[in-house]
Amino acid sequence: MPITLQALFAPDRRALQFAIKTLIGGGLALWLALRWGLEQPAWALMTAFIVAQPLSGMVVQKGLARLLGTLIGTIMSVVFMGLFAQTPWLFLLALALWLGLCTASSTLLRSAWSYSFVLAGYTVAIIALPAISHPLTVFDQAVARCTEICLGILCATAASALLWPMRVERQLADQARAAWQSGMNAARATLAGDGQARRGLLEILGRIVAVDAQREHAWFEGGLGRQRARAISGLSQKLLMLLRIARSVRRQWKQLEPQESKQMLHWMIEVQEALVSADTSTLQALRPRLLDASHDPQISSAQSYCLVRFTLLMDTAMAANAALKAVEEGKETVDPPRTLTPHRDLSLALVFGARSALAFLVVSCFWLATAWPAASGALVLTCVVCSLFASRENGAQIGMSFMRGIFLAVPAAFIVGQILLPQWSGFALLCMGMGVPLFLGALGMAKPQIGATATSFCLHFIVLVAPLNTMKFDVATFFNSAQAMVVGVGAAVLAFHLLILRNPTWHGRRLLAATLHDLLRLTRRNLRGAESWFGGRMADRLLQLARHYPELPEPARSRWDDGLLGLDIGDELLHLRLSLAVAQAPVSAQQRRYLDQLEKVLEQGPTASNAEALAQPSEEFLKTLYALPPSDAVKLAQGAVLQLQNSWRAWCRQQEESHGLA
């Protein structure tokens, strides 16, 4: 069955509950707005549908973000009108710059609170554009729109919290267990060197980023939600560490001679089996055996390094188990976790901001040139679509889904608003006429595959019907508004098509430069929170590289390897600094000298001529480490220095193979 027919005629229980809650929240907002005689009750109804989310915490968080953005947009609309009311061109130019700034800021923030910038962008257009011919009324318009929007937020939040509440924190346990299981599978596949290691790596990175994104929503669901949110941060941190240690073990394994790896094969098999079961007692029983084996004088240094890293992998796996238990039980973690830091791309944010500004200016020129009365509605809709979707790489596709929603809304709104409602009277019949299409639209909103089209249908259906205490029925105005919607969304989609980054090679170069910059900072950054800072940013970059990987020509697919090798070097650098901190070795001066030399090498970048640049600094620092009293932490530091040198050499050679000696 097609997904649309399934959503409308065979919905599941959660979709029905979501549609009923959304309809009740919107109906309550509309009734109160009509009862209190607000100027445009449709905004209260639309707001209830805009903030509707299947989970209660998401509604509260999105409602607060929308409220904050609305207040900022309200203030800025009054400011812009006060400054530029007599100069329309300057007013429109200032509004275009503000819209571009808000779009760029929402792209950079990479948080659920980025929705505040979205609202701050198009609220100015909603309030100021209708008042441009009557600037003295802008304050009244601002108060009215703010009141209507706040009413919709409150009604939607109340309906979601009271009717079949589905809390984010209750689903976090399932999502956390799925992420934990993916982490264990990815660690095992990394150790085995499976061909599916890349897919497993992407799966665990995607799950970590996804489950960490839910943390902000759970924060608004009481004490238990906040505790689980903190525990989720700890689990994300431990899973990234598990992935890092597993890759370091595999790198160390590759350094073994064939005879040495054959002697160590039974340990590798036992570790993989322990990760498959992932039972804490099994991991705890294997750890001391690995540690004792690493002290065997008959094995080589490379084998000893490998066994010590196996031990560290067991410790990390047990820490991940404890973090998962903390999420499931809603308990505080032992060590205060750090939230993942996302990768923020300034150049991409500027491009997306330019999208919004360009689309707005094009429609503004059309408005000034034609003096079409309905063009102000097109301009408002351009602002809304650009604010919502210009910060997404697939903005053009989402914009076309929005357009499909308009084409579906026009005939439905015409039948209800121009044929049925003129013959009906009273709020009950109004609810009946509007409720059936909106209920079907809400069922579609519950399906992510058609969510954009369904949301667009609901919003534009409400705009075209325009419920008021004293209804006005005018076919000419109706079709003018419908044309304005098509023009507004069409201009936004055109801007998305004109300003789109189709060059994945450029993406790869930017991400490589950002990775090198982070590696430079990692040589000096405080170790507190460094794991989450570097791991979160690299997870974002690897996911972006993987998204562009299929579009790259075969020679340019080395950008994915650039990301992995940059991740490996950062992991070894963290590993070295953490090991020396645990060992409390008196090597601060030598360590600083080595890190300074490493920083200079990283500044030059991975080139063929730079492959042996770390050889001498590594040799000198290893002499210092070999002179220290033996311990497991010192042994890990020695292995990290060797792996840093090997990973850097591999990165430089990979650049030579991909891009030539030059």
- In the block, residue with structure tokens 């076309």: 400
Chain segment 136-194, per-residue pLDDT in tens: 777 887 888 888 888 988 888 888 878 877 666 667 777 888 888 888 888 888 888 76
CA distances to 237, 465, 567, 627 from 314, in Å: 16, 63, 21, 28
Please state the three-class secondary structure of 328-354 as a single string.
HHCCCCCCCCCCCCCCCCHHHHHHHHH
- Residue listed under structure tokens 């599916």: 196
Can you give the pLDDT at residue 26? Answer: 92
- The C-alpha atoms of residue 148 and residue 46 are separated, in whole angstroms, by 10
For 150-175, b/e burial (b = at least 16 CB within 10 A) is bbbbbbbbbbbeeeebbbbbbbbbeb
Give the model's pLDDT for residue 512: 76
Within the chain, what is the greatest distance between any pair of CA atoms? 95
The sign one gets for the Cα dihedral 366, 370, 371, 374 is: negative
pLDDT at 322: 87
Cα 364 to Cα 99, 119, 129, 323, 488, distances in angstroms: 13, 20, 11, 54, 10
Domains plus CATH for the chain?
3-166+345-498 (no CATH), 168-329 (1.20.58), 514-659 (no CATH)
Per the CB < 8 A criterion, the answer to whether 70 and 123 are in contact is: yes
- Chunk the chain into consecutive blocks of 10 residues (it has 662) and report each block's average pLDDT, rounded to whole numbers: 75 87 92 89 88 67 79 88 83 89 83 80 83 77 84 85 71 80 85 66 70 67 70 79 83 84 88 86 89 85 85 89 82 60 74 83 83 77 78 74 89 92 88 91 86 88 88 85 85 75 62 82 81 76 60 51 77 83 75 86 82 86 84 82 85 66 43
Q: DSSP string spanning 227-294?
A: HHHHHHHHHHHHHHHHHHHHHHHHHHHHTS-HHHHHHHHHHHHHHHHHHHH--HHHHHHHHHHHHHHH
Q: Do 621 and 641 touch, CB atoms closer than 8 A?
A: yes
- pLDDT at position 662: 42
Other residues' Cβ atoms within 10 Å of the Cβ of residue 547 = 13
Q: For residue 29, what pLDDT is reported?
A: 93
Tokens, residue 518 = 């982070």
- Position 661 scores a pLDDT of 44
CA distance 311 to 306: 9
The model's pTM: 0.73
Q: How far is CA 53 from CA 19, 21, 56, 122, 161, in A?
A: 10, 10, 7, 21, 11
CA distance 642 to 347: 36
What is the pLDDT at residue 506? 64
CA–CA distance, 169 with 55 (Å, rounded to integer): 10
Residue type, 387: S
Read out DSSP for 99-166? HHHHHHHHHHH-SGGGHHHHHHHHHHHHHHTTTTTSGGGHHHHHHHHHHHHHHHHHHHHHHHHHSS--
What φ, ψ does residue 606 adopt, rounded to 5°? Answer: -75, 105
For 407, residues 6+ apart whose C-beta sits below 8 A from its C-beta are: none
Amino acid at position 231, single letter: A
